[in-house]
Structure 1
Amino acid sequence: MIELPADKMDQMVKRFAMLESQMASGPDSETYVKLASEYADLEEIVSRIREYKDAQSERDDLETLLADKTIDGEMRQLAEMELPEIEERLEKLGKDIQLLLLPKDEADTKNAILEIRAGTGGLEAALFAGDLFRMYERYAASRGWKVEVISASEGDAGGYKEIIAMVTGRGVFSRLKFESGVHRVQRVPETEAGGRIHTSAATVAVLPKAEDVDVDIRDQDIRIDTMRASGAGGQHVNTTDSAVRITHIPTGIVVLQSEKSQHQNRARAMEILRARLYDAERQKAADERAESRRLQVGSGDRSERIRTYNFPQGRLTDHRINLTLYKLDRVMEGELDDVIEPLIADHQAKLLTEEPA
């Protein structure tokens, strides 16, 4: 049976009841919003804790009944049948509570900036980058998320040399954050007459969208350059004569943005810069917390090869958790849950090992 921190659970239930009472007392709107936010955060786990305590009481009553030598045979038989069901329910509720008690990633509720760049493999890498973007678009659509292209540079034979998009919706970052890394593809290009399998790659970065309160960017820390934009036209390439490049001097991070107005350029570039700085701070904090080992799936290194898409065999392999699926066609159509759920489960298991006994 899973051991749970009884004192911590009791404190949560008491706090939840206090919040209910304070919200019912008619506080001002600002106070009410704060109370309601904390109430919503606690609601799911308190519900599970109450179910768990009810199940414990049922189990205790059954064990007391079975210990009574005077009860008749039919009553004893019913109690013996019910006890394993109660034990099974307690085990499941205990696991649910254990996961809900894990430290929360404050970025999980945020929207995400998705960046995909063609890597080694020339034209085929750009085509694969395009395939990955469409895969994420379809997955987003299946979950009711919105995808907005911020900027794109198209490949000479299709696909993208680079594409950056904003993904907005419920739980976006919590589900996409393990996609960062190098994605490798093995397939026969359409232009390959000999039928040889080529290997190419694309790099994916998923960054939590940062707000002003998350990252403080001082004016003296950035340099803004305006220039004429150039490049071949395409579906997502904006026709404009101006572009903005923002350099964050302390870190050397550079963001280049071309939109229809300089004002929009600057706003978009600052949005991406803020996300990259916020992501860098998160990576640094994770390194410090984990010390000799990571809390993330894999190393979190953007240059790490995380997944291989083998088209001739219809096989997808995630190297971080040794996951192999023979449903590549469906994955590319956006059916990503069978890939993402095991990654989340593995991450939670690693977090559990980090929790003090």
Structure 2
Amino acid sequence: MFDKLEQLEARFRDLEAQLSDPEVVSDGQRYTTIAKQHAEIAEVVAAYRDWRQTGEDVEAATEMLAESAGDEADLAKAELDELAARRAALEEQLKLLLVPTDPNDDKDVIVEVRAAAGGDEAGLFAAELREMYLRYAQRQGWRTQLLSESASGIGGVKEAILEIVGRGAYAHLKHESGVHRVQRVPATESQGRIHTSTASVAVLPAAEEVDVEVNTNDLRIDVYRSSGPGGQSVNTTDSAVRITHLPTGLVVSCQDEKSQHQNRDKAMRILRSRLLQAEQDRQAQQRADARSGQIGTGDRSEKIRTYNFPQSRVTDHRIGLTVHNLADLLGGDLDEVVGALRQAERESRLASIQDEG
């Protein structure tokens, strides 16, 4: 770990030097990129420097304690204990700071809630989950929009799709993906029997706009003489343009304009738009695959969390956490559960790093 910290500090010093370089300062795009890299590692470098300085302070306090007696020794011992505790706390902080983060964590999210097993009761539960996420987002100060909804039965929903916009939305909500199970006496149950129903939740990082850059080395450009209907020549110059994008095999031809330059520009605009569409389609397929993997079958036995109404108990089965504030949780108070899941994720990532080391 400490070898990595030394490398990060060296990288930090290098970035600081670059930010002071007039050549970098004069290049806005380059300066912005370097400044972002500098900011990304500033916190961990500051903590590392603090940890290292505290280590030097511990050594000095140890020497002072060895040379002290009486009340002076008691004061030196108290200072040494405080410094040692601070150093240990900084070491734990450094471990967590070095845990790799999910690149999607800062993204906005699309939350899809669907009724699963349980008929009308499942639809009612899905509607309650929808409201839970809307209220949680409101508590976080995030913006929400209901993108689509399909109603069912007696006030429930078959499906609800929400967009939640806010910094860290994916980091906070990604662990909600899976099957949620509810145990309660349905409003339609006349004999007071407890029923079990389920709803499935998928949390997807919102897709960002894709910018397409075309490498000229990936293009084959052919020019030829444009022709009208039946092969009749339109003009006597090679003004028509055919552009082939070699990596994808996409071909665009344009001969509407009399100028080869104009036809080439138009063909390039068309090519870029088709490449953009292809990339968006690919991302859409990835989201569809992710959605399929997250939702599962919706069967009653497949669950990540159980909401037990008779006992006002909510249990997250992945981390063994149980809370007894069901009404508050459905009202949007997800902080305890979300915090525990995020901590479990960090600890898991940290354990992976230590195993690799």
Sort the TM-score into its range (normalised by shorter chain): 0.7 to 0.9
Aligned to 2:235: none
Distance 1:113 1:282, change over 3 A: closer
Aligned to 1:162: 159
Alpha-carbon distance, 1:214 to partner: 9.8
Aligned to 2:56: 57
Aligned to 2:283: 274
Rg (Cα) greater in structure? 2
Aligned to 1:140: 137
Aligned to 2:40: 41
Alpha-carbon distance, 1:118 to partner: 0.3
Instruction: Tell me, yes or no, if the aligned pair for 1:113 and 1:275 is still in contact at 8 Å.
Output: no
What SS is found at the alignment partner of 2:304? strand
Distance 1:278 1:47, change over 3 A: farther
1:16 pairs with 2:15: no
Instruction: Tell me, yes or no, if the aligned pair for 1:215 and 1:278 is still in contact at 8 Å.
Output: no
Alpha-carbon distance, 1:213 to partner: 4.6
Q: Distance in 2 between matches of 1:159 and 1:121?
A: 12
Aligned to 2:344: 346
Aligned to 2:94: 97
What SS is found at the alignment partner of 1:340? helix
Instruction: Tell me, yes or no, if the aligned pair for 1:183 and 1:305 is still in contact at 8 Å.
Output: yes
Aligned to 2:31: 32
Alpha-carbon distance, 1:102 to partner: 1.3
Alpha-carbon distance, 1:280 to partner: 4.2
- Give the TM-score taking structure 2 as reference length: 0.73
Alpha-carbon distance, 1:156 to partner: 2.2
Q: Distance in 1 between matches of 2:209 and 2:152?
A: 34
What SS is found at the alignment partner of 2:191? coil
Instruction: Tell me, yes or no, if the aligned pair for 2:202 and 2:295 is still in contact at 8 Å.
Output: no
Alpha-carbon distance, 1:178 to partner: 0.7
Instruction: Tell me, yes or no, if the aligned pair for 1:56 and 1:90 is still in contact at 8 Å.
Output: yes
Bigger proportion of residues as helix? 2
Instruction: Tell me, yes or no, if the aligned pair for 2:309 and 2:326 is still in contact at 8 Å.
Output: yes
Query: What's the % identity of the aligned pairs?
Result: 42
1:202 pairs with 2:199: yes
**Cα-to-partner distance string for 1:190-231 (whole Å, 9 max, x where unaligned):** 222222211111000001123355999xxxxxxxxxxxxxxx
Instruction: Tell me, yes or no, if the aligned pair for 2:210 and 2:280 is still in contact at 8 Å.
Output: no
272-281 or 153-162, larger mean C-alpha shift: 272-281
User: What residue ranges of structure 1 are gaps of 5+ in the alignment?
Assistant: 217-266, 284-298
Distance 1:150 1:116, change over 3 A: same
How many residues matched?
284
Q: Distance in 2 between matches of 1:282 and 1:181?
A: 10
Which structure 1 residue ranges, 4+ long, deviate > 3 Å from structure 2?
212-216, 270-273, 278-283, 299-304
23-32 or 122-131, larger mean C-alpha shift: 23-32
Residue 119 of structure 1 is aligned with which of 116, 122, 137?
116
Residue 189 of structure 1 is aligned with which of 186, 190, 196?
186
Q: Distance in 1 between matches of 2:110 and 2:211?
A: 15
Aligned to 1:73: 70
**Cα-to-partner distance string for 1:162-213 (whole Å, 9 max, x where unaligned):** 0111111111111111111000001122222222211111000001123355
- Give the TM-score taking structure 1 as reference length: 0.73
1:171 pairs with 2:171: no
Q: Distance in 1 between matches of 2:162 and 2:118?
A: 23
Aligned to 2:216: none
Distance 1:330 1:84, change over 3 A: same
Alpha-carbon distance, 1:353 to partner: 2.1
